[in-house]
Amino acid sequence: MKKFIFLLLLIFISCEKELIEIHNYEFQIDGRTHLDNNGYYHLTIDPIPNQQTLHRFGAYVTMEDKYGIPTMVTWGCDTYWYLEEYGQPFNDIPVPIINFTSYADPLVDSVYCMMAPIGSMIGDTIEIRGKAWFEEGDIILQDSFWIIFN
């Protein structure tokens, strides 16, 4: 019986150590532009209605998990624009303003993503969400930020 209790205690301590390691993962988004006192980022975009403005945002993230797998980040945003050709909208072809997936840089603890809002979005405020996946998807950290297009 003592051996059984010792074995259970050993398993518990091993599991507890594993849980402590999990908390070392980090994921914090940075809009990489002006941040106001209310916590909103601001991005000045080209005022031409269909002209894209490219902007790179990112996050500080632990670059790999305990298995050595690079960190994958999935990005989400509910804002799209629609293609137009010769002044006619193609309403069935939405164009997302962000890329949906990126991987951590193998040399530094960072990950980046591109956004491309268009001029007709001036005055819009949108939320961009990110999820970092560690240990083959068993651990997920989330963060988000709000950005105003000026």
Distance between CA atoms of 121 and 75, rounded to whole angstroms? 20
Are 73 and 102 in contact, with CB atoms under 8 Å apart? yes
Task: Domain 25-149: give its CATH code.
Answer: 2.60.40
CA-to-CA separations, 140 to 3, 47, 68, 77, 102, in angstroms, rounded: 37, 37, 16, 18, 15
User: Any idea where the domains of the chain sit in the sequence?
Assistant: 25-149
Where the chain has pLDDT below 50, the residues are 16-22
What per-residue confidence (pLDDT) applies to 15?
53
